Amino acid sequence: MEHTLTSNLKNKQRLKVSLNTLSAASYSKIKDSIEELNKLYTIDNIDSVQNFLENHINLYEVLSDVYIKIKDVFGKDIKELYLEHFIDPEEDFQCICITVITELSVDKQIELRNEFYEKYWLDQDVDIRTLVSVMV
């Protein structure tokens, strides 16, 4: 009986060490990912963005892909790409907002936004489109 208790205790300790290692590895990956995103976007409220993305790990890849697609459609006309964590407490809603800044006319911006939506954005899963908003 004592051997079983000792064995269980050792297994729990090993599990705890494994979970702590996993947490440290995950944290390191998240930190690296947010640094990569910071190279692509101008990130407002970076701590808030990071906290939101920790709960939605799958969005890191999405945000990298969105950057590529935005560059494909808007090209050299992009003046700045902002990424921020948006919170609407009245609606109990949160998302990541990407704002594309250009010096194009409003009509041209709308045309390119529609092209982006048709070529790429509307093909995204509705859950992704709920968590990430792209504005021009």
Q: pLDDT at position 15, please?
A: 40
Strand order in the sheet with 93-102: 42-43, 78-88, 93-102, 132-135
Q: pLDDT at position 30, please?
A: 56
> Which structure tokens are listed for 23?
């947490």
* Per-domain residue ranges of the chain: 2-135
Q: pLDDT at position 33, please?
A: 80
Q: pLDDT at position 44, please?
A: 85
Low-confidence stretches of the chain (pLDDT < 70) are 1-31
Give the Cβ contact number of residue 6 at 10 Å.
Answer: 10
Nearest Cα to 40, choosing from 18, 67, 71? 67
Q: Are 95 and 84 in contact (CB under 8 A)?
A: no
Q: pLDDT at position 17, please?
A: 42
HSE on the CB side for 118, CA within 13 Å? Answer: 7
